[in-house]
Amino acid sequence: AQLGSTTTHYQTVAMTVPSTTAANEYPRMDDLPGIREWIGDRIVHDLSMQTYTIRNKEFEGTIGVRISQVEDDQLGFLSSMAAQLGQNAAQFPDQLVFPLLKNGEATKCYDGQNFFDTDHPGYDEDGKETSVSNFAAGSSPAWYLVDDSQVIKPIIYQSRKSFQLIRKDQATDDTVFFGGKAVYGVDGRCNAGYGLWQLIYKSKLPLNAENYAAARAAMTSIRKRNGEVISINPRKLLVPSTLEGAARKLLLNELAANGESNEWKGTAEPVVIPLLA
Tens digit of pLDDT for each residue in 47-72? Answer: 554 577 899 999 999 988 888 887 88
Nearest CA to 122 among 48, 225, 219?
A: 225
Query: Using one digit for the tens of pLDDT, what is the confidence trace for 167-199?
Result: 898 899 999 999 999 898 899 999 999 999 999
- pTM tops 0.75, yes or no: yes
Is 45 a residue whose pLDDT tops 80?
A: no
> Is the pLDDT at 87 greater than 90, yes or no?
no
Confidence at residue 22, expressed as pLDDT on a 0 to 100 scale: 92
Total domains in the fold of the chain:
1
163: in domain: yes
Using DSSP's 3-state secondary structure scheme, residue 275 falls into: helix
Q: Is residue 2 part of a domain?
A: no
Supply φ then ψ for residue 250, to 5 degrees: -70, -40
Residue 40 is predicted with a pLDDT of 62
Per-residue pLDDT of 240-251, as tens digits, reads: 999 999 999 999
What is the SS3 string spanning 85-131?
HHHHHHCHHHHHHHHHHHCHHHCECCCCCECCCCCEEEECCCCCEEE
Query: What's the residue count for the chain?
Result: 277
In a domain, 110, yes or no: yes
**Residue 45 placed within a domain:** no
The residues near 103 (Cβ < 8 Å, ≥ 6 apart) are none
List pLDDT tens digits, range 90-143: 899 999 999 999 999 999 998 889 999 999 999 999 989 999 999 999 999 999
38 falls within a domain: no
As a whole number, mean pLDDT of residues 201-214 equals: 98
Report the pLDDT value the prediction gives residue 119, as an integer from 0 to 100.
96
Helices (H), 42-91: 67-71, 77-90
Q: Considering the domain boundaries, does residue 133 fall inside one?
A: yes
Mean of the per-residue pLDDT values of the chain: 89
Residues 175 and 253: their CA atoms lie apart, in Å, by 58
d(CA 142, CA 245): 14
Q: Residue 35 domain-assigned?
A: no
- Asked whether residue 81 is domain-assigned, the answer is yes
User: Buried b vs exposed e over 93-127: b needs ≥16 C-beta within 10 Å?
Assistant: bbebbbebbbebbeeebbbebbbbbeebebbeeee
- Residue 153: domain span: 10-29+50-276
